[in-house]
């Protein structure tokens, strides 16, 4: 079993399948994209499957695919099928912007995908287009409908809240849970790879951050009741509006509570194990994979390096060398 030096069992692997994306959300990527990793540096389907088999032997039971945008990966359905067929893996899920979900939801469900988290930062089509720099909100809604038809449930909607951009939509987003069995989760914007100006009409860097405490205050009229988080709600503090079908969650990556129960390990798309989103220690699996070496010692090394908690503010310069889309947000 993978147990880190602080006694936490590592049971959850997040895999960034690609650093590429079909959107350019202002808080995540510059308009012109990033210096993309070469195709040769990215792991193949076979290599990803080997990593998950090894992780499963160490006690990993849940895998989440992310990126970049996992649905732009040309072999996404095959990857899901390979991972889902590993007997110790109980759940394969995926985080997506949903641009390509309408046609992929059913093939992915057939391949063994259990759930999707969909990023949706505004309910207003024009604002959504501005935030994502050209995303089409109608495609997101069609993707959500397809996910529901394909029983990819429970559906989670992730919204990064930025002051002066979409914080005014907190009540409307929370109200989605009244009649939908969805988990709407509000996330504090993290100062990762996005310190530059986002352009005309966007808030300045020093004005964007809004804490989950303030978000909760902005929803005080809803009489939010704390509930036990649904399975897989990770670091979210979860509430329900009385009689609502779904829940409202708050995720504070800057807050300490994010760390104490952390059961995660990450695999970057260029084959590096990372035991913390924020702390930049990485262990490369790629050469070991390509030279046929056993992977277990590399897992042990990465887990031994897992920090007790991160220090987000001290780590910002180092974190910023790799953005969220490269680490796998
Ligand atoms: N492309 C997929 C998507 O957008 O859902 C998956 C990758 S994206 C990096 C994963 C999550 O990270 C998204 O929910 C996105 O909103 C979030 N994210 C990206 N940059 C962030 C930042 N600077 N602060 C907080 N969340 C961020
Ligand atoms: Fe792409 Fe997701 Fe980053 Fe938006 S948040 S640019 S969809 S990786």
The predicted-structure confidence for 30-56, as pLDDT tens digits, reads as follows 988 888 999 999 999 999 999 999 999
Q: Which of 66, 67, 69, 132 to mutate to test the pocket of ligand 2 (most atoms within 8 A of CB)?
A: 69
How many angstroms is it from 124 CA to the middle of ligand 2? 18
Question: In which band, very low, low, confident or very high, does the pLDDT at 313 lie, cut at 50, 70 and 90?
Answer: low
Distance between CA 112 and CA 94 in Å, rounded?
A: 11
In the chain, % of residues over pLDDT 90: 77
Distance between CA 317 and CA 322 in Å, rounded?
A: 10
How many angstroms is it from 148 CA to the middle of ligand 1? 22
- Burial of 27 (C-beta count, 10 Å sphere; 0-12/13-18/19+): buried
pLDDT for residue 231 is more than 60: no
Distances (CA, A) of 270 to 48, 57, 80, 215, 250: 10, 22, 18, 36, 30
- The predicted structure's pLDDT at residue 24: 96
8 A C-beta contact, residue 26 and residue 131: yes
Which residues have C-beta within 8 Å of that of residue 5, sequence separation ≥ 6? 304, 306, 308
- pTM, two decimals, is 0.94
- Say yes or no: CB of residue 190 within 6 Å of ligand 1: yes
Ligand 1, atom 2, lies closest to the CA of 96
Question: Average pLDDT, whole number, for the chain?
Answer: 91
Distance between CA 119 and CA 121 in Å, rounded?
A: 6
Q: Which residues line ligand 2 (CB under 6 A)?
A: 21, 23-25, 28-29, 67-69, 97, 119, 325
The mean pLDDT of 171-175, rounded to a whole number, is 98
- Say yes or no: CB of residue 166 within 6 Å of ligand 1: no
- The predicted structure's pLDDT at residue 185: 96
- Alpha helices by DSSP H, listed for the chain, are 45-57, 76-84, 101-111, 125-132, 137-149, 170-179, 212-218, 257-260, 286-290, 296-304, 312-319, 324-327
How many angstroms is it from 329 CA to the middle of ligand 1? 5
Distance between CA 283 and CA 320 in Å, rounded?
A: 18
Smallest CA-to-CA distance from 138 within 151, 155, 123 is with 123
pLDDT for residue 176 is more than 80: yes
- Say yes or no: CB of residue 312 within 6 Å of ligand 1: no
- Alpha helices by DSSP H, listed for 205-270, are 212-218, 257-260
Domains in the chain, ordered, with CATH?
Answer: 12-327 (3.20.20.70)
The mean pLDDT of 129-158, rounded to a whole number, is 97
User: Strand, helix or coil at 95?
Assistant: strand
Question: In which band, very low, low, confident or very high, does the pLDDT at 316 lie, cut at 50, 70 and 90?
Answer: low
Distance between CA 49 and CA 92 in Å, rounded?
A: 13
- Say yes or no: CB of residue 247 within 6 Å of ligand 1: no
Task: For Cα atoms 28, 250, 155, give the angle at the middle one, nearest 5 degrees.
Answer: 80
8 A C-beta contact, residue 297 and residue 303: no
Distance between CA 320 and CA 300 in Å, rounded?
A: 26
The mean pLDDT of 91-101, rounded to a whole number, is 98
Question: In which band, very low, low, confident or very high, does the pLDDT at 314 lie, cut at 50, 70 and 90?
Answer: low
Structure token digits, residue 233: 């709600």
- The predicted structure's pLDDT at residue 309: 84
User: Which ligand 1 atom sits closest to the C-alpha of 324?
Assistant: 9
8 A C-beta contact, residue 264 and residue 14: yes
Structure token digits, residue 67: 């990126």
Distance between CA 139 and CA 71 in Å, rounded?
A: 14
Return the DSSP state at 246.
S
pLDDT for residue 315 is more than 70: no
Q: Which of 21, 26, 28 to mutate to test the pocket of ligand 1 (most atoms within 8 A of CB)?
A: 28
User: Which ligand 1 atom sits closest to the C-alpha of 253?
Assistant: 25
Which residues have C-beta within 8 Å of that of residue 20, sequence separation ≥ 6? 33, 36, 67, 68, 69, 72
How many angstroms is it from 285 CA to the middle of ligand 2? 25
How many angstroms is it from 69 CA to the middle of ligand 1? 9
How many angstroms is it from 289 CA to the middle of ligand 1? 28
């Amino acid at each position: 079993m993978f147990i880190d030096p602080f006694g936490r069992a590592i049971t959850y692997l997040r895999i960034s399948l690609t650093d590429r994306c079909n959107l350019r959300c202002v808080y995540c990527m510059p308009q012109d994209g990033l210096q993309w990793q070469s195709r040769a540096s990215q792991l193949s389907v076979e290599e990803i499957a080997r990593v998950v088999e090894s992780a499963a032997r160490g006690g990993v039971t849940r895998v989440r695919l992310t990126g970049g945008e996992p649905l732009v990966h040309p072999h996404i359905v095959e990857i899901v099928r390979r991972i889902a067929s590993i007997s110790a893996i109980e759940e394969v899920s995926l985080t997506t912007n949903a641009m390509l979900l309408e046609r992929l939801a059913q093939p992915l469900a057939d391949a063994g995908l259990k759930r999707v988290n969909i990023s949706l930062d505004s309910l207003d089509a024009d604002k959504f287009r501005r935030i994502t720099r050209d995303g089409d909100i109608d495609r997101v809604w069609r993707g959500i409908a397809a996910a529901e038809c394909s029983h990819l449930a429970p559906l989670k909607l992730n919204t990064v809240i930025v002051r002066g951009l979409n914080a005014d939509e907190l009540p409307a987003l929370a109200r989605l849970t009244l009649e939908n069995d969805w988990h709407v989760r509000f996330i504090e914007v993290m100062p990762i790879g996005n310190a530059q100006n986002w352009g005309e009409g966007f808030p300045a860097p020093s004005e964007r951050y809004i804490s989950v405490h303030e978000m909760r205050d902005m929803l005080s009229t809803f009489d939010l009741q704390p509930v036990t988080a649904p399975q897989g709600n990770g670091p979210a503090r979860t509430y329900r509006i009385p009689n609502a079908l779904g829940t409202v969650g708050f995720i504070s990556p800057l807050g300490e509570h994010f760390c104490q129960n952390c059961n995660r390990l990450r695999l970057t798309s260029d084959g590096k194990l990372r035991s913390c989103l924020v702390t930049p220690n990485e262990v490369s699996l790629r050469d070991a994979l390509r030279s046929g070496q056993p992977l277990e010692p590399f897992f042990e090394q990465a887990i031994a390096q897992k920090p007790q908690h991160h220090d987000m503010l001290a780590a910002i310069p180092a974190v910023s060398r790799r953005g969220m889309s490269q680490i796998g947000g």
